[in-house]
C-alpha cells in the first residue's frame, strides 16, 4: 500500500521534543504499539541525542518492494546534527555518549541488516558537508558523488575533497587515541569513493562520447579530473583510475528523464512500472504515448546497478 509519511511523523512529535518524558508518560502498551509501526530515522536516533535509554526494539521499515525496505527521513534531523557538533571534541577523550553519538547511525544500519538480512544499506545524504554528513560519510564503507553537469558540482567536488582530507585525519586521530574496546564501534577503514554519476543532463544525440548538449559537456568532462585532483588518493585508490574516470553505469542514467520522474512520484511506483498502473486517469494518453520510454528505464537502472555492484565488490 501507499506509505503516508505524515502519520509517521505526527505520532513522533512529542518523542522528538522530549523522548524520556514522553516515554515515561506513556503506558508500556502505547510505547510498544508506537514501535510496532514505521518510525523515522530521527526518532530512532533521539535516545542517543538525549543520552537516554535506547528503544530496545527495531520498529519495522517500510516495505517498498520484496527486497527493498526504507526508513523514512525527518526534517528535524538538524537537532541530531547539533549534538554531533557539540559532542565532537569529547570523542577524543573517549567519552561514551560522544562516541555513541557519532557511531549510532552505523550501528543502527548494522542492527537492521542483522534483523532483516540486508546485503546493502544505502544512506541518502544532503549535498552539504556539515557535521551530520561528516559522520555518515566517514563511517560508511563507500560513497558516490552525484553531479549535475554545472559549475556548482565542480566546486562541490573541491569542497568535498578538502573536507574528506580533514575528516580522515580526525578519524585517524580518534582511532589512535581510543582503547581497543572503543575502537570496535568504528569501521576499520576510512570510507572509499566508488565513483560519480551525472544526472539530469540534456541529451544531444551523436555528440560523443556521452551524447550531451555542448554547455553540459564543458562541465561534465572536467568532473573526472576534478575528482582525481581533489579527493585524497587513499580515499579513491580501490577503484582503478580508468574506471573512476567513467560515470557509474556510463551514459545509462545520465540524461534527463523529463516528466517521467513526476509520474513516478505521482503513482508511487518506479518509472518502468507506471504504464502498468490501473488508474492513470487523465495521464493515460501521455503515459501510453511514451510507454516504451518509461519501460526502457528498467534496463538503464539495471546497467547502472551492475556497474555499482562491481565497484562495491572491490571494497572487499
pLDDT score, position 259:
82
Q: Cα–Cα distances in Å, from 285 out to 22, 183, 280, 288, 298? A: 51, 58, 9, 5, 21
Contacts of 126 (CB under 8 A, 6+ apart): 132, 133
The whole-number average pLDDT for the span 252-278 is 88
In this predicted structure, the answer to whether residue 70 has a pLDDT above a threshold of 70 is: yes
The whole-number average pLDDT for the span 31-40 is 96
The whole-number average pLDDT for the span 31-54 is 97
Residue 186 in domain: no
Q: Which three cell numbers stand for residue 196?
A: 560519480
Q: Cα–Cα distances in Å, from 258 out to 110, 191, 213, 274? A: 37, 33, 15, 14
Residue 65 in domain: yes
pLDDT score, position 25:
97
In this predicted structure, the answer to whether residue 1 has a pLDDT above a threshold of 50 is: no
Give residue 44's domain range.
1-124
Residue 145's DSSP bridge partners are 196
Chain centroid to Cα 254, Å, comes to 19
Torsion of CA 257, 263, 266, 268, to 10 degrees: -80
Environment class of 76 (CB within 10 Å of its CB; exposed 0-12, middle 13-18, buried 19+): middle
Count the alpha carbons within 13 Å of 21 in the hemisphere toward its beta carbon.
5
- Say if residues 231 and 284 touch (Cβ distance below 8 Å): no
Q: What is the pLDDT of residues 193-250, one digit of tens each?
A: 999 998 877 776 777 777 777 878 888 889 999 999 999 999 999 999 999 999 999 9
Contacts of 142 (CB under 8 A, 6+ apart): 191, 192, 193, 194, 311, 312, 315
pLDDT score, position 3:
56
H, E, C per residue of 128-185: CCCHHHHHHHHCCCEEEEEECCCHHHHHHHHHHHHHHHHHHHHHHHHHHHCCHHHHCC
Residue 76 in domain: yes
Contacts of 50 (CB under 8 A, 6+ apart): 18, 19, 20
pLDDT score, position 220:
87
- Say if residues 249 and 308 touch (Cβ distance below 8 Å): yes
pLDDT score, position 125:
93
Nearest residue to 39 (alpha-carbon basis) of 57, 69, 61: 61
Residue 254 in domain: no
The whole-number average pLDDT for the span 282-302 is 93
Q: Cα–Cα distances in Å, from 67 out to 6, 19, 84? A: 24, 32, 32
Strands (E) in the chain, as ranges, are 62-65, 68-70, 142-147, 192-198
In this predicted structure, the answer to whether residue 139 has a pLDDT above a threshold of 90 is: yes
| 215 vs 203: CA distance, rounded Å | 11
Residue 130 in domain: no
Residue 299 in domain: no
Q: Mean pLDDT score of the chain, rounded to an integer?
A: 92
The whole-number average pLDDT for the span 137-158 is 94
In this predicted structure, the answer to whether residue 295 has a pLDDT above a threshold of 50 is: yes
Question: 4: pLDDT confidence band, cut at 50, 70 and 90?
Answer: low
In this predicted structure, the answer to whether residue 52 has a pLDDT above a threshold of 80 is: yes
| 228 vs 244: CA distance, rounded Å | 9
In this predicted structure, the answer to whether residue 260 has a pLDDT above a threshold of 90 is: no
- Say if residues 106 and 54 touch (Cβ distance below 8 Å): no
In this predicted structure, the answer to whether residue 41 has a pLDDT above a threshold of 70 is: yes
Residue 143 in domain: no
The whole-number average pLDDT for the span 97-105 is 97
Residue 224 in domain: no
Contacts of 92 (CB under 8 A, 6+ apart): 173, 174, 177
The whole-number average pLDDT for the span 35-47 is 97
The whole-number average pLDDT for the span 287-303 is 93
118-132, 202-216, 249-263: least confidently modelled range:
202-216
Total number of domains in the chain: 1
Amino acid at each position: 500500500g501507499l506509505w503516508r509519511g505524515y502519520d509517521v511523523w505526527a505520532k513522533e512529535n512529542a518523542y522528538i521534543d522530549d523522548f524520556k518524558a514522553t516515554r515515561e508518560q506513556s503506558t508500556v502498551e502505547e510505547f510498544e504499539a508506537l514501535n510496532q509501526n514505521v518510525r523515522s530515522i530521527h526518532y530512532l536516533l533521539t535516545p542517543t541525542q538525549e543520552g537516554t535509554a535506547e528503544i530496545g526494539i527495531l520498529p519495522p521499515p517500510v516495505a517498498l518492494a520484496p527486497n527493498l525496505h526504507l526508513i523514512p527521513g525527518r526534517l528535524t534531523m538538524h537537532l541530531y546534527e547539533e549534538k554531533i557538533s557539540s559532542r565532537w571534541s569529547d570523542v577524543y577523550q573517549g567519552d561514551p555518549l560522544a562516541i555513541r553519538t557519532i557511531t549510532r547511525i552505523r550501528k543502527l544500519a548494522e542492527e537492521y541488516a542483522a534483523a532483516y538480512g540486508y546485503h546493502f544499506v544505502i544512506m541518502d545524504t544532503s549535498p552539504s558537508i556539515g557535521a551530520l554528513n561528516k559522520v555518515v560519510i566517514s563511517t560508511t564503507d563507500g560513497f558516490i558523488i552525484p553531479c549535475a553537469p554545472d559549475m556548482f558540482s565542480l566546486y562541490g567536488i573541491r569542497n568535498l575533497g578538502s573536507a574528506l582530507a580533514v575528516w580522515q585525519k580526525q578519524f585517524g586521530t580518534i582511532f589512535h587515541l581510543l582503547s581497543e574496546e572503543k575502537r570496535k564501534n568504528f569501521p576499520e577503514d576510512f570510507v572509499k569513493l566508488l565513483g560519480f554519476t551525472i544526472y539530469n543532463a540534456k541529451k544531444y544525440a551523436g555528440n560523443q562520447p556521452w551524447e550531451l548538449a555542448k554547455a553540459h559537456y564543458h562541465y561534465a568532462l572536467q568532473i573526472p579530473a576534478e575528482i582525481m585532483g581533489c579527493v585524497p588518493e587513499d580515499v579513491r585508490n580501490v577503484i582503478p583510475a580508468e574506471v573512476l574516470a567513467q560515470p557509474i553505469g556510463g551514459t545509462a542514467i545520465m540524461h534527463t528523464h523529463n516528466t517521467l520522474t513526476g509520474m513516478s512520484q505521482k503513482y508511487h511506483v518506479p518509472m518502468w512500472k507506471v504504464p502498468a498502473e490501473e488508474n492513470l486517469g487523465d495521464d493515460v494518453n501521455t503515459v501510453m504515448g511514451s510507454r516504451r520510454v518509461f519501460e526502457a528505464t528498467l534496463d538503464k537502472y539495471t546497467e547502472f546497478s551492475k556497474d555499482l555492484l562491481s565497484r562495491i565488490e572491490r571494497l572487499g
